[in-house]
Chains A and B, each alone.
Chain A
Amino acid sequence: MAFLDNSGDIILDAVLTDAGRKRLARGDGTFKVTKYAFGDDEIDYSSYNAFHDSGSAYFDLEILQTPVLEAFTNNASSLKSKLITLTNNNLLFLPEMVLNQVGDLTQMAASSSIGAGIFLAAVDLDTETALGAISNLKYLRGDQTSDNTVPYVRVDQGLDTDKLSPTNRLSSELTERQYMIQMDNRLGMLVDAFTQTQGTVSFVDDDQIATYYLTQGVGQYIKDCLVGPLTGTGNVGSGKTESDGNELLAGPRGTKLRFGLKSSSNLKASDYLFDTIGQGTVTDANAVDYKALDTTIKIIGITTGYSIDIPVRYLKKTT
């Protein structure tokens, strides 16, 4: 007789994250484990070969041999990708989140000596003026004193495939109605791109990462994408305004998330953060120097757990 498989019940030793230790030390009852999630950060699903000649036992052979890293204690470094529970086992497609740069106001900087393939954010009016002198440069207005035609970041959620009709809306089970945004609180704040209202921080962790929860219907952050086939540069119908058109995804769409950035008073008033964690000085085509600081804004869909990182470079004109 062979041995019975006893692998169904496994004991794991957990380590507290730095955020967990901080809450525990605070002693105010905020250390409370109420939920759990499973992650698969190390797994590269592209090595899954569903057509292996030797049969199904070989489909995931490489994945099962993937070595797993020890736990990180930095709370921001673990469980970047989570497993999802969906009731329907017959899904072939899952929605993605894609950075939408179709519209003029939602574009990263293109080829430029001060940054390319990254969102540029001017921290003050001086910098905005200097950047405005560069032809066709796309940048975010970190000062946030302008009107509601300021550039913003737009992320679309849905299926990016032409195998399904874009005239159908993404199923409600897969549509994101709430997003979580994590960004460095020392550098900037989230604002509603259309009202310039500053977002409400849910909490700031020990690494100064602020977490915002955005819900559809609260502010202008989240809107439904339009349905319909793409025509031209993303327009899906006539008479649509800038904020309603410019679709990107080829298949059924869910929601679109739009937000702007407001630079922190620390960045405006001081060079300290630029000098300590910045990338040094960059010079534009007009020979103007700027201090640069690169960071990442993480967007996570609450429903699907799908996430996307948005690169941002804060720029400050040197005096």
Chain B
Amino acid sequence: MANSFKTLQGEDTATTRTLLHEAIPITGTIVSGTYVDDANIKTFSHGMYEAVYDYPYLSSSANHIFDVTAGYSADWFGSSSANTQNAKKINIYNQMAQVLVGYDTGSQIQEFDADGSTSTSTDKMQACIFVNFARLLVKDEIKKNSFRLSLATSASALHGDANRGILKTIGDYGAQTDYLTNSPAGEYGLLYTSSDGDAGEMIAGHVYYQAGIAVITSSFFSGAFGQLSASAGYYVGKDGISNALTGTTISEIANGFRFTVDDISFNNTTELNSTIYFCRANNTEFNYSANPTYLSSSEIRVKGQNPAADPVSYITTVGLYSPDNELLAVAKLSEPLKKSPSNELTLRVRLDY
């Protein structure tokens, strides 16, 4: 009986899981102001955060890179109702803490803890800057021990680096094997200023791998911080980030953070689940074709008028079908593949999900 379909047997199907990584380099000039009038920085009337794009955001070519916002705990020493956007900064901190740190047994929102151990109370990160990376870059998660953020711990300028000082690189050094899991948002690593961070370097913040969020404690910054005030003509918060947190808006703090950034890089991770179909063409199978050009007056062209000659066909496509013969997936070869009774082929067709 002639047949053009072959049924997949149990051993013809296999499932695999593959982790794909991409390097994501974000150059600091894009973040700190490559474009005129910061056309790639989107601010919002609610003033809760600002968004950074890789191109002027009004263009359809622009891709969202990350959002920057800042906030502090209501228990932070500088918290005061007299502060600029006090409630919003507390809201932001609480929102992030809720999602990334969770609640204590009394259902109270826990504060960020520098070493991740909530049992200690002296190392809370009560004022932080949050960098929320877009899903477009992070994909499924940030790869551990790949996050590096170079920034000046002291900087104040609108554009340029004239006032930058003390350039440092923080990263989740050693997180490949040394990461924490006590966050409701998944796994996270501690950000150190050098690879020997465990040996006593300051913990500058956290990076939450699945959430794609970096949390940087305000105490990492020293000296001037903030943007040049157009009205006052001086650097707001030049005496330190604390002044910026209390006396300027979230957008101005976000701008100040952007001016400090020199480089950001990490590897993202995409989890690919694949089904591999082993499409086997045995020596006795698929040697003829229903291609209309295969026949000339019903005679098979490739036989050369010799019935004893081997039939030959050429595979260019593999189709995967449902039980009712509907074509569900197609795979193409790069070049025609000769099939005859003298050869056998196994084409591994991978379908990714």
Contact = CB atoms under 8 A, between A and B. Distances in A.
5 cross-chain pairs, A with B, having the tightest CB-CB distances, nearest first: A50-B304, A305-B4, A20-B328, A39-B317, A305-B290
Nearest to A39: B317
A43 to B, nearest CB: 5
A31 B322 contact: yes
Is chain A's binding surface mostly helix, strand, loop or mixed?
loop
Given A43-B314, A84-B289, A205-B326, A13 B352 contact: yes
Nearest to B279: A36
Contacts of A10: 333, 337, 345-348
Is chain B's binding surface mostly helix, strand, loop or mixed?
strand
A19 B294 contact: no
Given A34-B8, A83-B315, 8 more contacts: A37-B5, A43-B336, A64-B314, A75-B328, A82-B289, A84-B289, A86-B2, A211-B324
A37 B316 contact: no
Interface in A12-47: 12-17, 19-20, 23, 30-46
Given A38-B279, A40-B336, A45 B302 contact: yes
Given A68-B335, A159-B298, A12 B293 contact: no
B225 interface: no
A42 B55 CA distance: 42
Nearest to B321: A35
B75 interface: no
B334 A68 contact: yes
B99 interface: no
Interface of B: 1-8, 13, 275, 277, 279, 281, 284-339, 341, 343-352
Contacts of A85: 2-4, 6, 284-288
Given A19-B326, A36-B6, A12 B336 contact: no
Contacts of A147: none
A139 interface: no
Interface of A: 8-17, 19-20, 23, 30-46, 48, 50-51, 59-60, 63-73, 75, 78-79, 81-87, 89-96, 159-161, 163, 172-174, 180, 202-203, 205, 211, 251, 301, 303-307
A180 B344 CA distance: 29
B11 to A, nearest CB: 14
Nearest to B346: A9
A50 B313 CA distance: 13
